[in-house]
Amino acid sequence: MIDRIWRDVIALSAWGIAIPWCVRTSALIQNFSLVPDLSWLDWNVSPTGTPGLIVVVTARDEADNIAATLDTLLAQDYPYLRVLAVDDRSVDATGTIMDEYAARRPDRLTALHITKLEEGWLGKTFAMQVATQSSDSEYLLFTDADVLFSPSILRRALAYAEQSQAAHLVVMPTAQVRSRGEGIVLGFIQMLGLWASRPWRIADPKAQKDIIGVGSFNLVRRDALEAIGGLEPQRLTVLEDVILGRRIKAAGLPQRVAFAPGMVLVHWAKGMGGIVRAMTKNLFSAFNFRPFLLLGACLWIVVFCLLPIAGLVWWVTLLPALLVLSCVAVTYRELSAVSEVDARYGWLYPLGALIFMYGMLRSMVVTWVNRGIIWRGTLYPLRELRRFNSPFQWRSKN
């Protein structure tokens, strides 16, 4: 009798995992095509009117990457564009390279140099603030110093932003995968991202949990940024790109997302180890530096991503386990069409899950040991960061 009860409990639990996977995957299949793809010929158009665009490139010690990024920005075919390259206290040749480009193209590029960080700000957010205050345009594009842009992507993005009346537009970047380790981790991260935010619900103002923000391509209307108080309210947010998206959505302003395979390229980090090290700064902050929240997320990954594999060995849980693995395969296949991360990395998704959890735990331990985050040469204490990094801080009051 007891054995039967336990068998029924395990079977129900297995189906309790499989059903949400089936629901989410079904929604993906039905709605993924609703997200615009700016690489299509239909979007090879210009925006109505002549909206001005300032591209803000913030960089610290990016001498190896900044020239390639600036080259692709200066090659853009949209004429009403200026680039603000912000050197954030670099100790390498980043600032010199920016000045050389500014001297060659003063009509299109201006270099700004930050020599001292204002107290109470994170370095990147302060650099973005300085650029915002030093410019005047209808649109601002915040991006990083290691992103490569197709010549027409900014024109296409502005056309979509104008047509959809977007206050905030994110164009999802295409990851440059240069090793198997990178593909394993990035493949799992993009699959996990669908559980955090559904791209087809981003435009729905009622879907408050579905928000978007990507540091590689955060396009925002200046009047929208001013309406939410600018960047000062999030001056100590670690995930400044996500928080900007959260604030835009909470304010009820139109938010949009688009794909553009191969048109916005970024290499996140070198190798599996590089990605883990990059996650060390960010992941704990996503849980407002609360261990129980991070450990709860780890438990969710174990239950929803790893336990179904164990279900393959028992006939009672075999069918729901196969359904989960089928959903994982479908998700990888659908996402690979726009992310260009090979769907075959889905075979190794359990390894990706384990590495991602290791990155989460490493982020927590390192942050606790340091009693804060060390970023761009500055230590930010936990007591200050917690006030600005709660995932519940910016939500609609409606």
Identity of the amino acid at 395: R
5 pLDDT above the threshold of 80? no
> Which structure tokens are listed for 328?
């994982």
Q: Quote the CA–CA distance of 292 and 297 in Å, as a whole number.
A: 9
Q: Quote the CA–CA distance of 23 and 378 in Å, as a whole number.
A: 44
105 pLDDT above the threshold of 90? yes
pLDDT at 315: 85
Question: 35-173+214-266 has which CATH code?
Answer: 3.90.550.10
Instruction: Classify the C-alpha dihedral 260-261-266-268 as positive or negative.
Output: positive
8 pLDDT above the threshold of 90? no
pLDDT at 264: 97
Most confident stretch, 46-50, 82-86, 235-239, 268-272: 82-86
Q: Quote the CA–CA distance of 265 and 173 in Å, as a whole number.
A: 6
pLDDT at 398: 47
241 pLDDT above the threshold of 50? yes
Indicate the pLDDT class of residue 126, thresholds 50, 70 and 90.
very high
Sheet order of strands, 147-149 included? 147-149, 264-266, 174-175
What's the average model confidence in pLDDT over 350-354? 96
117 pLDDT above the threshold of 90? no
What's the average model confidence in pLDDT over 330-353? 93
Report yes or no: 167 and 254 within 8 Å, Cβ to Cβ: yes
Chain-centre distance of CA 241, in angstroms?
7
> Which structure tokens are listed for 56?
């803000």
Indicate the pLDDT class of residue 302, thresholds 50, 70 and 90.
very high
Structural domain spans, the chain? 1-33+178-196+269-389, 35-173+214-266
pLDDT per residue as tens digits for the range 163-179 = 999 999 999 999 999 89
Measured in degrees and rounded to the nearest 5, phi and psi for residue 379 equal -95, 125
396 pLDDT above the threshold of 80? no
Helix (H) or strand (E) holding 375: strand 372-375
pLDDT at 9: 84
